[in-house]
Structure 1
Amino acid sequence: MNFHGFEIVWSQRDQMLSGLALTLQIVVISSVLAGIVGFAAFWLLVQGRSSVVRPMKTAIDLIRAVPFMLLCYLIYYGLPSLGVTFSNMTAGVTALTIYNAAYVAELLRGSWKAQPAEANEAARALGFHGWKLVTRIILPPVFLDAVPMLGNQMIQVIKDSAFLVIITVQELTYAANEIQATFYVPFASFICAILFYWILCLGVEGGVRSLVRVAESRR
């Protein structure tokens, strides 16, 4: 095997690590925001008011039906025609947040539907309503059951972040592409990028396993 390509990538490691650091920053910010927005959407869904639930379900279904790349194009290139302009970084984080928040809300709703109805009925009979009902009765078991699926969704955020190269966000895929375009070492540069993405995903998987163990010990 010719290791010359990997030697070139190593010589450009600062560029690759800079892309990795930006990818990690994007993933953390987008995941936190998607979790917050997704939880807010879930809270509206469990209220049971048809005037809110139906439009929310429609919006979630629409977002989930849109290819992520198209959503990036729409936010970065489409919205300026309406007078709304974002930097490429802000547009990327916004797209990741909106797209994954829809999945988070649906995952939480699915986990909520799988819970026994008796617990919610008993809580309502004891005077739990609204925000208090959601945060103290509904959310804890729903979140614990949804942890593995939420972990998978965070891995999806990591993978989706690579699409931000289309709006010139200088993340990990952008860095790998710049190195291969400059030195023509596509195999080495992309293999190194894949390894970094794999390490990020392994970190998420390890965190999920730890949370699952804690959840199981407290059942």
Structure 2
Amino acid sequence: MIANFVVIWGQRAVVLSGLLNTVILLVIAGVTSLVLGALLTPLLMSQNKVVARASAAYVDAMRCAPFLLFVYLIYFGLPTLGLSMSNWSAGALALILYNTAYMAEMLRGVWLELPTALIESGKAFGFRGFSLLTRIILPPVMLRATPMIGNQMVQIVKDSAFLTVIAVSELTHEMTGIQSTYFIPFAAFVTAVLLYWCICLTIEAGTGMLNKLAEERRA
């Protein structure tokens, strides 16, 4: 058994490459989906029924569709429409579009809980439109939503493992390759689980720090 982990250590360059790619996907998808989710949230709450319903339809579609099926749709389906892309680009796009819906829905829920007086005060000081959104509404929304955003980041890490089906060289894909070559499934996949755990613990630690700062600010 120990010899199997020695083999994994011998392939540490490949393992670290997969780990790095997973972290890169997390950063790109996490940041982009959060920004797009913040921009989508006002559309979900728009007084224009067409805009609100169209936005809600997108959110519902993403929340109801299995992520793996969505990956297949983008990587294999879009080329039939003349929209071909690399496996990496398709994987990143799938993560972004899918998680944007979840980010927007979380932020919408927090927005609805904001005190009405806060928004009215912003309007009284002359804030309107985009300035009201970015300077009055989004800061407290982001602070209150920090724990949920952290949870969604963890979900992005887990979703990224599905990208092995389109041969994106993330952690699961690289560990599967090592297992297939050396026939050491236990050592390979235990190592993968531990590395995913480390990523998630890092996210939780960062989220905890931000949440503590948010509580201190509210106090």
TM-score of the alignment, normalized to the shorter chain, above 0.5: yes
Q: TM-score range by the shorter chain?
A: over 0.9
Give secondary structure in 2 for the equivalent of 1:218: helix
Per-residue deviation, 1:205: 0.5
Aligned to 2:172: 173
Aligned to 2:100: 101
Looking at structure 1, the residues matched to 23 and 106 of structure 2 have their Cα atoms a distance apart, in angstroms, of: 23
Question: Is the Cα–Cα contact under 8 Å of residues 47 and 130 in structure 1 kept in the other structure?
Answer: no
Q: Where does structure 1 lack aligned partners over 5 or more consecutive residues?
A: none
What TM-score results when the alignment is normalised by the length of structure 1? 0.96
Name the amino acid aligned to 1:88.
Answer: N
Question: Is the Cα–Cα contact under 8 Å of residues 26 and 161 in structure 1 kept in the other structure?
Answer: yes
Equivalent residues in 2 for 1:68-147 (5 A)?
A: 68-147=67-146
Name the amino acid aligned to 1:111.
Answer: V
User: For 1:189-214, what per-residue CA distance to the aligned partner results, in whole angstroms no more than 9, with x for missing partners?
Assistant: 00001111000001101110110111
Give secondary structure in 1 for the equivalent of 2:145: helix
Per-residue deviation, 1:14: 1.0
Does structure 1 residue 212 correspond to structure 2 residue 211? yes
Per-residue deviation, 1:61: 0.6
Question: Is the Cα–Cα contact under 8 Å of residues 147 and 208 in structure 1 kept in the other structure?
Answer: yes
Looking at structure 1, the residues matched to 56 and 191 of structure 2 have their Cα atoms a distance apart, in angstroms, of: 40
Looking at structure 2, the residues matched to 124 and 11 of structure 1 have their Cα atoms a distance apart, in angstroms, of: 62
Q: Taking structure 1 as reference, are residues 46 and 124 closer, same or farther at Cα in structure 2, changes over 3 Å only? A: farther
Per-residue deviation, 1:39: 1.2
Per-residue deviation, 1:146: 0.2
Aligned to 1:39: 38
Looking at structure 2, the residues matched to 107 and 19 of structure 1 have their Cα atoms a distance apart, in angstroms, of: 30
User: For 1:156-203, what per-residue CA distance to the aligned partner results, in whole angstroms no more than 9, with x for missing partners?
Assistant: 111100000000001100111001101100000000011110000011
Structure 1 runs of 4+ with >3 Å offset: none
Per-residue deviation, 1:28: 0.7
Name the amino acid aligned to 1:89.
Answer: W
What TM-score results when the alignment is normalised by the length of structure 2? 0.96
Give secondary structure in 1 for the equivalent of 2:47: coil
Aligned to 2:25: 26
Looking at structure 2, the residues matched to 48 and 204 of structure 1 have their Cα atoms a distance apart, in angstroms, of: 36
Does structure 1 residue 194 correspond to structure 2 residue 216? no
Give secondary structure in 2 for the equivalent of 1:115: coil
Equivalent residues in 2 for 1:54-65 (5 A)?
A: 54-65=53-64
User: For 1:58-101, what per-residue CA distance to the aligned partner results, in whole angstroms no more than 9, with x for missing partners?
Assistant: 11111111100000000000110111101000000000000000
Name the amino acid aligned to 1:64.
Answer: R
Looking at structure 2, the residues matched to 160 and 144 of structure 1 have their Cα atoms a distance apart, in angstroms, of: 25
Name whichever of 79-88 and 50-59 sits farther off.
50-59
Per-residue deviation, 1:121: 2.6
